[in-house]
Structure 1
């Protein structure tokens, strides 16, 4: 079995693969002040809860966009397994990275690109809706061409409620119509429908600049709320990054 760990700004997601099948998915809150031992205890407890023998884990691969936590998570995972690969420059991914400075490509973007190459027809556009909202392009030659980054849905919503005294906290639900008639649904319209329109518009622009994609796939914790409201045909794959990490582990073991 292979342990994949995706360290994000909001959550740490780890998936356990048995061959190419996902045997376990679990999430922890990203807490920068925690120690390796504290995270290790979480890992061990989760494995124990699901009756998984840690000795059967062949190795682990970590992608992290939180540099101050990377070594912490490496040390935590090393308590249950000695072989840990950290996705960083120099690790084999199979990607031809064509951005201005390839060393600056985020580990999550690299893993997502590898995941879409391994599992979907190319060329492809990938939408990642997490702490930030991202769209990026991968062509049929397995080249990462670039993308866009916008403030994430929760970041935008928190900024709105924190700076506007009369606006409430809302549930992440789509309202019945775009032109809403109360404060909560007006906010939901702006957040849900507004983000969906942004995605549709950016997909159109990417298509005009690049090519007609054979695949558009969305991932990230908030994608499930937004993608149903988009007009484009979009596949939802919440485990795309973990699948990419598994492929990267196989390339580097």
Structure 2
């Protein structure tokens, strides 16, 4: 069993995983001002809740898109586990051939997603990761990471809409009573849900047209569970894709 940590802009996902099962997945708020000790207490609390002791954990791996927290979280995990912690980045073997202009620009979360997807699902494939941003990643039939798209996330779009329009108040992201809204709140819910679903459908259609072949579509990320059911395309929903990718990368680099 390993401890896998993904540091995102909004949440930090923490989970214990091995080849047999995922023992738990929890989310902590990403707080850039927290100290090493405060994050260590957070991790210790989560492990205690699930009655997992540090000596039961073989190792730990971190992916992060928040550089100012990465080292703090690494030191916090090492304080709890008394073991060295891997951080996804240059120097770690991933098995992923990245075809970007500047591979170092690629976020560690997208690396982990792609490694898991090409390990467990047929290529070519498209990964739709719906978090703070919605990222679309393309892996071709030769298991090369070709690139993708980045667009505003569901919550970011909704927050921007409510912040800029004085007559629109904040709403929860849930299915409206009907497709065509009859009041402001339902209009907003319908626009956000079906607008994002249509965007995902349309992007995947264009990718298939560009590649000239069908693709496997895997959806993941915190907002995907709300949006993907409204898509017309068939998609595989894998909420734990990133943690699976971190496990694969950990095993490739285990000494």
Normalised by the size of structure 1, how large is the TM-score?
0.97
Q: What are the ranges of 5 or more consecutive residues in structure 2 without an aligned counterpart?
A: none
Give the match for residue 11 of structure 1.
Answer: 11
- Deviation (angstroms), 1:230: 0.3
Deviation at 1:80, TM superposition (A): 1.9
CA gap of 1:211–1:79, structure 2 versus 1, over 3 A, is: farther
Residue 68, structure 1, aligned to residue 104, structure 2: no
What is the DSSP-based 3-state SS (H/G/I as helix, E as strand, rest coil) of the residue aligned with 2:80? Answer: coil
Counterpart position of 1:121? 122
**What is the RMSD computed on CA atoms of the aligned residues?**
1.1
Structure 1 residues 111 and 211, CA, compared in 2 at 3 Å: closer, same or farther? farther
1:137-192: per-residue Cα shift (whole Å, max 9, x none)? 11222210010000111111111111211101111112233321100010011100
Aligned counterpart, 2:171: 170
Task: Measure the CA separation in 2 of the matches of 1:217 and 1:5.
Answer: 21
Aligned residues: 253
Report how far residue 39 of structure 1 moved: 0.7
Residues 125, 213 of structure 1: 8 Å contact kept? no
User: How many angstroms does 1:17 deviate by?
Assistant: 1.2
Which residue matches 1:216? 217
Q: How far has the Cα of 1:83 moved from its partner?
A: 2.1
Cα distance in 2, alignment partners of residues 224 and 232 from structure 1: 14
Q: Tell whether the 8 Å contact from 2:132 to 2:153 is kept in structure 1 after alignment.
A: yes
State the shift of 1:52 in Å. 0.7
Q: 1:139 maps to which residue?
A: 140
Aligned twin of 1:252: 253
Aligned residue for 2:227?
226
Is 2:226 the partner of 1:191?
no
Please state how far the C-alpha of 1:214 moved relative to its aligned partner: 4.2
Question: 2:6·2:63 contact (CA, 8 Å) conserved in 1?
Answer: yes
For residues 153-168 of structure 1, the aligned pairs below 5 Å read 153-168=154-169
- Give the unaligned 5+ runs of structure 1: none
8 Å CA contact 1:126, 1:136 repeated in 2: yes
SS in 2 for 1:79: helix
Matched residues in 2 for 1:63 and 1:237: separation? 18
Partners of 2:67 and 2:142 in 1: how far apart?
30
Contact 1:58 1:83 survives alignment (8 Å): no
Asked if the contact 2:12/2:30 (under 8 Å) is kept, the reply is yes
Distance (whole Å) between structure 2 residues aligned to residue 91 and residue 225 of structure 1: 34
> What SS does the aligned partner of 2:128 have?
strand
Partner SS for 2:31: coil
Aligned to 1:92: 93
- What CA distance in whole angstroms lies between the structure 1 residues aligned with 2:148 and 2:223? 19
Distance change (3 Å), C-alpha of 1:104 and 1:20: farther
CA contact (8 A) 1:3 1:57 kept: yes
Q: Secondary structure at the match of 1:246?
A: helix
